[in-house]
A and B are shown apart, each in its own frame.
Chain A
Amino acid sequence: MSRPLTAALLLALLLGASPLAAGVVEVRIKLPVRAKIDLAGRRTVAIAPFITVGREGAGRQSESSVDVQQEFERHLTKLLRRETDLKLVESGRVDYPTYELDLLSRNRDFWRALGERLQTDLILTGSLDFDVQDKSGYRTEEYVSPYDGRTYYRQVLVEQTGFEYDIVFQVYDGRTGELLFHDNFKDFKQIEGEKADPLLGMFENLRALEDRIAGVFTQKQVEASRLLLTD
């Protein structure tokens, strides 16, 4: 093919053809997440005592002085007041027919009777498992000798405490006793120090789970990424 012809074809391709290599720009958008429970026509809520679950196992530290149930219910009350328009009804003492959550969740009569007694549209309950673990251990660390300037590896003891919070969260219809919502919220935090304050660990866990718990009752926003395409 002659040189002018090749040049003309090249020019034609450059000017006429659409660009093939697209650039990509990542952007963040905010998307709504619908509340898990429809609150239309529901105005009142009662927090029935959450059942605390204990665990035994290696690495588990002795029981802390924190009242897990009381701290959680106080936190939940605060959260509901802040995030919803629901009116909180005091549940007082509740005598559960069983402490097996599976059995309890099938006992519609019990929840309906409790709802009727408390005159509440919704009843919150579930179980709490707060676990404090000794996560101390040896880690390999690099160090440069001040004598010969060479790099060596050594074992160092790192003291850390792990805090694991496992919440089974249930919402019952106070009028029918029907289980409206059931989910498991879990969080794990690791804090430096062999004897880190369990209360601090618990609040770190609860803060991390706050949005998920609030999302049961209110519409929340989440961030998502999308790709914009350029020439």
Chain B
Amino acid sequence: MKPFTTLTGIVAPLEALNVDTDQIIPKQFLKRIERTGYEDFLFFDWRFKSDGTPNPDFEMNAPRYAGASILLTKDNFGCGSSREHAPWALNDYGIRCILATSYADIFYNNCFNNGMLPIVLPVETIERLFKEVRASEGYKLTVDLPKQTITTPVGSAIAFELDPFKKECLLNGWDQIGLTLRHEDRIAAFEKAREAAH
């Protein structure tokens, strides 16, 4: 997995509550058996009109948000199904970091397993960022994972919290399976003890 340390990038706003994984990537794109190549399916029903052309009413489609690597959104982002295709699609599109007031649990974990950083911020901060992003074209944020700060273009720093273990894993790009397999002897001992008990 690619480590995540710092990131400076364009911020794309997605003003909606409870954005579910069916919106992030609709089911017809879950039939593929590959792990990459999902960028064109992200927010498909919102991004594109029925004739396949981009929907000008979808805010993220505005040219000023092209190349965004940070997504700004609201409560309970990623609710619904467990499909890891949702973070895959975001990642393939170029989003590496998400800012929201809260996330659905499975989606949140899935992000870390793909080297992406979902950050939880208080509602006032999120509302302020929405205003700032819309007010100035080319608005960029800098996310510093080691320091756990987000810096705005005027230089003010916003601190964020993160589970220390998740942070370690991201910073080092650790493969979780590899981590667990270091304890294979314990897994084997656990299995043996259970068999003996039955």
Chains A and B belong together in one complex: no
Name A residues whose Cβ lies closer than 8 Å to a Cβ of B: none
Residue ranges of B at the interface with A (Cβ–Cβ < 8 Å)? none
